[in-house]
């Protein structure tokens, strides 16, 4: 799989979550769930009980984005509930290594998220503990915000760092480079060109008349825009 598309249910109808998930189940790779606690971000969404129900009733693996003030307390529980991936924010965690390891130990992929103004460099050493690096392309908290262009430079740097880890660091498992916020048919191509391979899209999917078709269109745009990787075979 060269790219992953993860529709965000923040833009879905919360009274019909199972149906909204089913609408993208044939086309998406993951279902993105923004857990927000009104402390780390000024918004309040869903918590563990809703995620436990989604795990039981939704075909897609869940991609949990913890926009909470105390991810060290909460993250392992989401992994134990059966989420495929649990992402914590660098700005909120006090014990990132312990929490990323706890997520993995519970059988989920571990993600580390950086807000738009948070630099990558202080967190590079942590990438060995992570399966996903999430570069936020808006300030977290709300859907339908405008994509922040300046975040693309961090995506480019992150791509160089991740490729170097794969080439010289002996890393074997993939490290996804995810973007989240303002991702639509135009901005997804710019993110893919910059090196992202995992894309969260809320309003671009759920405001569309046909959410499944919107996912297919986003995937096609991302795949077309991905840089060609030069391997030993193609060089």
Ligand X SMILES: O=C(CO)[C@@H](O)[C@H](O)COP(=O)(O)O
Question: What residue ranges bind Co ion (CB under 5 A)?
Answer: 34, 65, 180
Q: Contacts with ligand X in 128-157 (CB under 6 A)? A: 138, 140-145
Q: Which of 29, 34, 131, 197 does the annotation list as catalytic?
A: 34
Q: Is 63 annotated as a binding residue?
A: no
What is the DSSP code (8-state) at residue 37?
Answer: B
* 3-class secondary structure, 118: coil
Residues ≥6 apart with Cβ < 8 Å to 58: 17, 18, 21, 22, 25, 31
Q: In what order do the strands lie in the sheet with 198-201?
A: 4-7, 198-201, 176-180, 132-136, 109-114, 85-89, 62-67, 31-36
Residues ≥6 apart with Cβ < 8 Å to 102: 75, 76, 79
Out of 10, 31, 100, 222, which residue is the one contacting ligand X (CB under 6 A)? 10
Q: Which is nearer to ligand X, 141 or 169 (CB)?
A: 141
Please report how close the Cβ of residue 54 comes to ligand X at its closest, in angstroms. 15
Instruction: State how far the Cα of 226 lies from the Cα of 209, in Å rounded to an integer.
Output: 27
Q: Spell out, one character per residue from 79 to 118, where the chain touches ligand X: x when CB under 6 A holds, - when not.
A: ----------------------------------------
Strands 198-201 and 176-180: parallel
Q: Is 89 annotated as a binding residue?
A: no
- Longest CA pairwise span in the chain (Å): 52
Q: Is 180 a catalytic residue?
A: yes
Name the binder of 203 from ligand X, Co ion, none, CB < 5-8 A by kind. Answer: ligand X
| Residue count, binding to ligand X (CB under 6 A) | 23
Catalytic residues: 34, 180
Which residue ranges make up the annotated binding site?
Answer: 8, 32, 34, 65, 180-182, 202-203
- What is the contact surface with ligand X in residues (CB under 6 A)? 8, 10-11, 32, 34, 65, 67, 138, 140-145, 180-183, 200-204
Which residue ranges make up the annotated binding site for a divalent metal cation?
Answer: 32, 34, 65, 180
């Amino acid at each position: 799989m060269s790219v992953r598309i993860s529709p965000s249910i923040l833009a879905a109808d919360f009274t019909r979550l199972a149906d909204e998930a089913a609408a993208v189940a044939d086309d998406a790779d993951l279902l993105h769930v923004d857990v927000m606690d009104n402390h780390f971000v000024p918004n309040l969404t869903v918590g563990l009980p809703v995620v436990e129900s989604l795990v039981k009733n939704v075909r897609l693996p869940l991609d949990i984005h913890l926009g909470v003030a105390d991810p060290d307390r909460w993250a392992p529980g989401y992994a134990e509930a059966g989420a495929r991936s649990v992402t914590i924010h660098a700005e909120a965690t006090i014990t990132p290594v312990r929490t990323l390891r706890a997520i993995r130990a519970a059988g989920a992929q571990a993600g580390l998220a950086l807000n738009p103004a948070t630099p990558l460099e202080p967190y590079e050493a942590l990438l060995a503990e992570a399966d996903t690096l999430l570069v936020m392309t808006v300030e977290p908290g709300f859907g339908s915000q405008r994509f922040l262009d300046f975040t693309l430079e961090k995506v480019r740097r992150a791509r160089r760092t991740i490729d170097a880890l794969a080439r010289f660091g002996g890393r074997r498992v993939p490290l996804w480079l995810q973007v989240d916020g303002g991702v639509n048919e135009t901005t997804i191509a710019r993110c893919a060109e910059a090196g992202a391979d995992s894309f969260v899209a809320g309003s671009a999917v759920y405001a569309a008349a046909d959410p499944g078709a919107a996912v297919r269109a986003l995937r096609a745009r991302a795949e077309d825009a991905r840089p060609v990787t030069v391997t030993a075979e193609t060089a």
